[in-house]
Amino acid sequence: MTAALAIEDYAFLEDDACQARIVTAREKLGDRVVILGHHYQRDEVFRHADYTGDSLKLSRQAARSKAEYIVFCGVHFMAEVADILSRPEQQAILPDLAAGCSMADMADLARVQQCWQELGQVLDVERAVTPVTYINSTADLKAFCGRHGGIVCTSSNAAAILAWAFERREKVLFFPDQHLGRNTGYRMGIPLEEMVVWQPGKPLGGLSEAQIRRARIILWQGHCSVHQMFRPEHIDRFREKYPDTRVIAHPECCFEVCQKSDVVGSTETILKTVRASEPGSRWLVGTELNLVNRLRQEMKPKGVDVHFMSPMVCMCSTMFRIDPQHLAWVLENLVDGNVVNRIRVPEEEAGAARLALDRMLALG
């Protein structure tokens, strides 16, 4: 082992030089390392991934691999999930610790605990409310759910998770993304007036006691900065030009966008649906730009037109922090025997978070 290489020495390397060094380092490390690439990752990094997909799928694949080192090209909460689900001898690494998630940051443990306490002033909260956290959240919030009989959901299984939650208690506290909760609840037949938004920082979340008692889903006031950019008028304008267009949107988009869409689903659903479409079809897609651009290039030779929903560039800026320079830095340090940017969830917290994750995974 030598002294750790400094990231500053990589900052001004050209991408081409980094690409060559990444390939060389990976050859030296062999199956000791696995690189995970989230769908929203930039192409210069995505190309090096051993596995690609959404965060939970990637973490489970890594845990089943032989690798000692899990290099997650994603954001912080994803690397936390990889650490929680991986074997004790595996180490999760995030190439840039500044790669966070604005949605996950909208709900922190202190404010969720305050919300829980305030709900307890109105309800027998432990008997009346099931906390459900989207996987796009910090490990301590997953642990909170684990300790309070709650569960984790993904954009793929949110309906099944809400059904599970309602079997146990009459209400759900859903965080941090209000749009996923609202869109899922509405598709399950829950009226909009029975879903209220909790505004952290306001007494009782800005709600009356009557609203809290009447609500079936209490939605946290959070959102994805990327999916928030898509608007219903984007769909209207595009359909004026191309009336035969089919629209597919991620459930993190606002209610109005999802209502105007032909299909609403996770990134995996978007990919599967568009890939199965007939030649000559046209799709307007409401999700992150890197994914849509790759899908457009993939489907073009098959005669399928894929368009990005927003006229503005909408990419995940925090995901974009993972660049070839950081990936080369991490891998070359591993070659030298140094683990940098390890993500380690404290065991007590990891155990409670794992309980909430295991409840979800038990549902298949």
pLDDT band at 294 (very low <50, low <70, confident <90, very high): very high
Average pLDDT over residues 45-62: 92
- Give per-residue pLDDT as tens, 63-98: 999 999 999 999 999 999 999 999 999 999 999 999
Q: What pLDDT does 315 receive?
A: 61
Structural domains for the chain: 7-99+318-346 (3.40.50.10800), 104-225 (3.40.50), 227-308 (3.40.50.10800)
- The H or E element that residue 105 is part of is helix 102-105
Average pLDDT over the chain, rounded to whole? 95
176: preceding bond cis by omega (within 30 degrees): yes
- To the nearest 10 degrees (0 to 180), the angle between helices 324-335 and 15-29 is 30
- Give per-residue pLDDT as tens, 322-350: 999 999 999 999 999 999 999 999 999 99
Residue 312 has pLDDT above 80, yes or no: no
Q: What pLDDT does 188 receive?
A: 97
Average pLDDT over residues 224-244: 95
Hey, is 248 helix, strand or coil?
strand
Q: What pLDDT does 155 receive?
A: 94
Residue 11 has pLDDT above 90, yes or no: no
pLDDT band at 243 (very low <50, low <70, confident <90, very high): very high
Angle at 165 between CA 152 and CA 358, to 5 degrees: 35
Q: What pLDDT does 314 receive?
A: 60
Backbone angles phi, psi at 246, to 5 degrees: -100, 140
What is d(CA 218, CA 174) in angstroms, rounded to the nearest whole number?
Answer: 6
Residue 286 has pLDDT above 80, yes or no: yes
